[in-house]
Amino acid sequence: MNDTSTENLPDIITLSGVTKVFGEGQAAFQALKGVDLSVQQGDFVAIMGPSGSGKSTAMNILGCLDIPTSGAYLFKGVHVENMTRNQRALLRRHYLGFIFQGFNLLARTSAQENVELPLLYRGESAEDRHVAAKAALKAVGLDGWEHHTPAELSGGQQQRVAIARAIVTNPEVLLADEPTGNLDTQRGGEIMELLVKMNRERGITVLMVTHEADMAAYAKRIVHFRDGCIVSDERNEIKS
Protein backbone atom coordinates (compact mmCIF):
# COMPACT_ATOMS: atom_id res chain seq x y z
CA MET A 1 0.00 0.00 0.00
CA ASN A 2 1.39 3.35 -1.00
CA ASP A 3 1.47 5.94 1.78
CA THR A 4 0.83 9.50 0.67
CA SER A 5 3.34 11.51 2.72
CA THR A 6 2.43 14.98 3.92
CA GLU A 7 6.05 16.09 3.84
CA ASN A 8 6.45 19.37 1.92
CA LEU A 9 2.74 19.51 1.09
CA PRO A 10 0.94 22.84 1.62
CA ASP A 11 -1.41 23.55 4.50
CA ILE A 12 -5.00 22.96 3.43
CA ILE A 13 -6.41 24.26 6.73
CA THR A 14 -5.14 26.97 9.08
CA LEU A 15 -6.80 28.26 12.24
CA SER A 16 -5.13 31.38 13.63
CA GLY A 17 -6.14 32.82 17.01
CA VAL A 18 -9.65 31.39 16.66
CA THR A 19 -12.07 32.15 19.49
CA LYS A 20 -15.73 31.23 19.83
CA VAL A 21 -18.04 32.84 22.36
CA PHE A 22 -21.62 31.70 22.94
CA GLY A 23 -24.07 34.05 24.64
CA GLU A 24 -23.54 37.61 25.85
CA GLY A 25 -22.71 39.49 29.03
CA GLN A 26 -22.53 37.46 32.22
CA ALA A 27 -23.99 34.44 30.40
CA ALA A 28 -21.17 34.42 27.82
CA PHE A 29 -19.18 31.20 27.48
CA GLN A 30 -15.87 31.10 25.64
CA ALA A 31 -15.74 27.69 23.97
CA LEU A 32 -12.48 28.39 22.09
CA LYS A 33 -9.71 30.58 23.47
CA GLY A 34 -7.31 31.48 20.68
CA VAL A 35 -6.79 28.20 18.85
CA ASP A 36 -3.91 27.86 16.37
CA LEU A 37 -3.95 24.77 14.14
CA SER A 38 -2.41 23.95 10.78
CA VAL A 39 -3.27 20.83 8.79
CA GLN A 40 -1.28 19.79 5.76
CA GLN A 41 -2.91 18.35 2.69
CA GLY A 42 -3.08 14.55 3.07
CA ASP A 43 -2.73 14.54 6.85
CA PHE A 44 -4.84 12.36 9.18
CA VAL A 45 -5.54 14.13 12.46
CA ALA A 46 -7.35 12.68 15.48
CA ILE A 47 -8.88 15.33 17.73
CA MET A 48 -9.39 14.30 21.35
CA GLY A 49 -10.47 15.88 24.61
CA PRO A 50 -13.11 15.64 27.34
CA SER A 51 -16.67 16.89 26.92
CA GLY A 52 -16.70 20.69 26.87
CA SER A 53 -13.08 20.92 25.77
CA GLY A 54 -13.93 22.77 22.54
CA LYS A 55 -13.21 20.00 20.05
CA SER A 56 -16.78 19.84 18.70
CA THR A 57 -16.93 23.64 18.39
CA ALA A 58 -13.66 23.55 16.46
CA MET A 59 -15.00 20.82 14.16
CA ASN A 60 -18.15 22.87 13.47
CA ILE A 61 -15.96 25.77 12.42
CA LEU A 62 -13.71 23.53 10.31
CA GLY A 63 -16.81 22.08 8.64
CA CYS A 64 -18.12 25.58 7.80
CA LEU A 65 -21.18 24.96 9.99
CA ASP A 66 -20.22 27.92 12.21
CA ILE A 67 -17.81 30.85 12.11
CA PRO A 68 -15.30 32.10 14.70
CA THR A 69 -16.08 35.01 16.99
CA SER A 70 -12.57 36.24 16.22
CA GLY A 71 -9.45 34.95 14.50
CA ALA A 72 -8.97 33.51 11.03
CA TYR A 73 -9.88 30.24 9.31
CA LEU A 74 -8.10 29.72 6.01
CA PHE A 75 -9.09 26.88 3.67
CA LYS A 76 -6.59 26.57 0.82
CA GLY A 77 -5.54 30.13 1.58
CA VAL A 78 -9.07 31.60 1.46
CA HIS A 79 -10.54 33.31 4.54
CA VAL A 80 -13.63 31.27 5.42
CA GLU A 81 -14.66 33.59 8.26
CA ASN A 82 -15.32 36.33 5.68
CA MET A 83 -17.55 34.16 3.48
CA THR A 84 -21.32 34.46 3.29
CA ARG A 85 -23.50 31.56 4.41
CA ASN A 86 -24.07 30.58 0.78
CA GLN A 87 -20.36 30.64 0.03
CA ARG A 88 -19.67 28.40 3.01
CA ALA A 89 -22.40 26.02 1.81
CA LEU A 90 -20.68 25.81 -1.58
CA LEU A 91 -17.34 25.09 0.09
CA ARG A 92 -18.95 22.27 2.09
CA ARG A 93 -20.61 20.87 -1.01
CA HIS A 94 -17.51 20.83 -3.20
CA TYR A 95 -14.58 20.26 -0.83
CA LEU A 96 -15.79 18.56 2.37
CA GLY A 97 -17.23 15.17 3.25
CA PHE A 98 -18.92 14.40 6.59
CA ILE A 99 -19.14 11.15 8.56
CA PHE A 100 -21.28 10.98 11.70
CA GLN A 101 -21.47 8.65 14.70
CA GLY A 102 -25.17 8.02 14.04
CA PHE A 103 -24.68 7.26 10.31
CA ASN A 104 -27.53 9.73 9.38
CA LEU A 105 -28.90 7.52 6.60
CA LEU A 106 -32.43 7.83 5.23
CA ALA A 107 -34.25 4.80 6.63
CA ARG A 108 -36.51 3.84 3.71
CA THR A 109 -33.93 4.64 1.06
CA SER A 110 -31.49 2.21 -0.55
CA ALA A 111 -27.76 2.37 0.03
CA GLN A 112 -27.28 3.64 -3.53
CA GLU A 113 -29.86 6.40 -3.13
CA ASN A 114 -28.33 7.46 0.19
CA VAL A 115 -24.92 7.74 -1.44
CA GLU A 116 -26.35 9.70 -4.39
CA LEU A 117 -27.79 12.45 -2.19
CA PRO A 118 -24.78 14.85 -2.25
CA LEU A 119 -24.70 14.56 -6.05
CA LEU A 120 -28.43 15.25 -6.24
CA TYR A 121 -27.83 18.49 -4.32
CA ARG A 122 -25.16 19.36 -6.87
CA GLY A 123 -27.67 18.92 -9.69
CA GLU A 124 -25.80 16.08 -11.41
CA SER A 125 -27.64 13.84 -13.87
CA ALA A 126 -29.24 10.58 -12.76
CA GLU A 127 -26.81 8.55 -14.87
CA ASP A 128 -23.75 10.29 -13.40
CA ARG A 129 -25.15 9.87 -9.87
CA HIS A 130 -25.72 6.14 -10.39
CA VAL A 131 -22.22 5.53 -11.74
CA ALA A 132 -20.49 7.54 -9.02
CA ALA A 133 -22.53 6.00 -6.18
CA LYS A 134 -21.90 2.46 -7.40
CA ALA A 135 -18.16 3.18 -7.59
CA ALA A 136 -18.15 4.70 -4.08
CA LEU A 137 -19.98 1.69 -2.61
CA LYS A 138 -17.51 -0.64 -4.32
CA ALA A 139 -14.63 1.39 -2.84
CA VAL A 140 -15.94 0.74 0.70
CA GLY A 141 -16.49 -2.97 0.09
CA LEU A 142 -20.26 -2.91 -0.54
CA ASP A 143 -20.37 -3.98 -4.17
CA GLY A 144 -23.69 -5.80 -4.61
CA TRP A 145 -25.39 -4.12 -1.64
CA GLU A 146 -26.68 -1.11 -3.58
CA HIS A 147 -30.39 -1.89 -3.17
CA HIS A 148 -30.39 -2.75 0.54
CA THR A 149 -31.97 -0.31 2.99
CA PRO A 150 -30.24 0.60 6.28
CA ALA A 151 -32.52 -1.84 8.17
CA GLU A 152 -31.06 -4.65 6.06
CA LEU A 153 -27.46 -3.69 6.90
CA SER A 154 -25.29 -4.19 9.98
CA GLY A 155 -23.96 -1.17 11.88
CA GLY A 156 -20.59 -1.55 10.21
CA GLN A 157 -22.19 -1.75 6.78
CA GLN A 158 -24.31 1.33 7.51
CA GLN A 159 -21.16 3.27 8.42
CA ARG A 160 -19.56 2.09 5.16
CA VAL A 161 -22.56 3.51 3.29
CA ALA A 162 -22.07 6.78 5.20
CA ILE A 163 -18.40 6.82 4.18
CA ALA A 164 -19.33 6.13 0.56
CA ARG A 165 -21.75 9.06 0.73
CA ALA A 166 -18.95 11.24 2.12
CA ILE A 167 -16.44 10.33 -0.61
CA VAL A 168 -18.78 10.21 -3.62
CA THR A 169 -18.09 13.90 -4.31
CA ASN A 170 -14.30 13.35 -4.22
CA PRO A 171 -13.81 15.74 -1.28
CA GLU A 172 -10.42 17.06 -0.30
CA VAL A 173 -11.22 16.82 3.42
CA LEU A 174 -13.20 14.24 5.42
CA LEU A 175 -14.58 15.41 8.77
CA ALA A 176 -15.48 12.41 10.94
CA ASP A 177 -17.32 12.86 14.24
CA GLU A 178 -16.93 9.75 16.42
CA PRO A 179 -17.20 7.49 13.34
CA THR A 180 -16.76 4.30 15.39
CA GLY A 181 -18.76 5.39 18.45
CA ASN A 182 -21.75 3.12 17.69
CA LEU A 183 -19.67 0.11 16.65
CA ASP A 184 -17.99 -2.77 18.46
CA THR A 185 -14.21 -2.96 18.54
CA GLN A 186 -13.88 -5.23 15.49
CA ARG A 187 -16.22 -3.19 13.30
CA GLY A 188 -14.63 0.01 14.56
CA GLY A 189 -11.22 -1.26 13.53
CA GLU A 190 -12.55 -2.12 10.07
CA ILE A 191 -13.91 1.40 9.66
CA MET A 192 -10.59 2.90 10.77
CA GLU A 193 -8.71 0.73 8.27
CA LEU A 194 -11.05 2.04 5.59
CA LEU A 195 -10.39 5.66 6.58
CA VAL A 196 -6.64 4.98 6.55
CA LYS A 197 -7.00 3.51 3.05
CA MET A 198 -8.88 6.61 1.82
CA ASN A 199 -6.18 8.80 3.34
CA ARG A 200 -3.25 6.86 1.93
CA GLU A 201 -4.52 5.89 -1.50
CA ARG A 202 -6.64 8.93 -2.37
CA GLY A 203 -4.71 11.55 -0.42
CA ILE A 204 -7.87 12.71 1.36
CA THR A 205 -7.16 14.82 4.43
CA VAL A 206 -8.97 13.34 7.46
CA LEU A 207 -9.96 15.18 10.65
CA MET A 208 -11.58 12.88 13.19
CA VAL A 209 -13.04 13.53 16.63
CA THR A 210 -12.80 10.48 18.89
CA HIS A 211 -12.85 9.59 22.58
CA GLU A 212 -11.17 6.25 21.88
CA ALA A 213 -7.39 6.11 22.14
CA ASP A 214 -7.21 2.83 20.19
CA MET A 215 -9.02 4.49 17.27
CA ALA A 216 -6.89 7.65 17.49
CA ALA A 217 -3.86 5.36 17.15
CA TYR A 218 -4.70 4.96 13.45
CA ALA A 219 -4.12 8.67 12.81
CA LYS A 220 -0.83 10.29 11.81
CA ARG A 221 -1.26 13.01 14.39
CA ILE A 222 -3.17 13.44 17.66
CA VAL A 223 -4.37 16.85 18.89
CA HIS A 224 -5.73 17.20 22.43
CA PHE A 225 -8.16 19.96 23.45
CA ARG A 226 -8.84 21.08 27.00
CA ASP A 227 -10.80 24.11 28.26
CA GLY A 228 -11.02 25.67 24.80
CA CYS A 229 -7.30 25.35 24.03
CA ILE A 230 -5.01 22.90 22.27
CA VAL A 231 -2.81 21.42 25.00
CA SER A 232 -0.85 18.94 22.87
CA ASP A 233 -0.25 18.26 19.18
CA GLU A 234 1.96 15.27 18.45
CA ARG A 235 2.90 13.04 15.55
CA ASN A 236 1.82 9.46 16.05
CA GLU A 237 3.42 6.07 15.42
CA ILE A 238 0.96 4.81 12.81
CA LYS A 239 -0.40 1.28 12.88
CA SER A 240 0.80 -0.71 9.89
- Dihedral angle, C-alpha 191, 158, 92, 200, nearest 10 °: 20
Task: Say which DSSP state 224 is in.
Answer: E
Q: Is the pLDDT of residue 237 over 80?
A: no
> pTM to 2 decimals?
0.90
> pLDDT at position 240, please?
46
Residue 5 lies in a domain: no
User: How many structural domains comprise the chain?
Assistant: 1
Residue 170 lies in a domain: yes
> pLDDT at position 5, please?
54
- Tell me, what CATH number does 92's domain have? 3.40.50.300
Please write the tens of the pLDDT for every residue from 32-63.
999 999 999 999 999 999 999 999 999 999 99
Instruction: Say how many C-beta atoms besides its own lie within 10 A of residue 7's C-beta.
Output: 6
Please write the tens of the pLDDT for every residue from 76-135.
999 999 999 999 999 998 999 999 888 889 999 999 999 999 999 888 999 999 999 999
Give yes or no for a contact between 115 and 190, defined as CB atoms under 8 angstroms apart: no
Owning domain of residue 208: 11-235
Of 5, 46, 3, 55, the C-alpha closest to 217 is 46
Q: Tell me whether residue 176 is exposed, middle or buried, using C-beta atoms within 10 angstroms of its C-beta: 0 to 12, 13 to 18, 19 or more.
A: buried
Please write the tens of the pLDDT for every residue from 143-177.
999 999 999 999 999 999 999 999 999 999 999 99
User: What does the alpha-carbon distance between residue 73 and residue 58 come to, in Å, rounded to a whole number?
Assistant: 10
Tell me the pLDDT band of 28, cut-offs 50, 70 and 90: very high
Tell me the pLDDT band of 17, cut-offs 50, 70 and 90: very high
Element (H, E) at 48: strand 44-48
- How many angstroms from the chain centroid is the CA of residue 235? 19
> pLDDT at position 10, please?
86
Q: What is the mean pLDDT of residues 189-203?
A: 94
Residue 137 lies in a domain: yes
User: What does the alpha-carbon distance between residue 196 and residue 204 come to, in Å, rounded to a whole number?
Assistant: 9
Residue 1 lies in a domain: no
Residue 45 lies in a domain: yes
Q: Tell me whether residue 148 is exposed, middle or buried, using C-beta atoms within 10 angstroms of its C-beta: 0 to 12, 13 to 18, 19 or more.
A: middle
> pLDDT at position 219, please?
97
User: What does the alpha-carbon distance between residue 224 and residue 196 come to, in Å, rounded to a whole number?
Assistant: 20
Residue 168 lies in a domain: yes
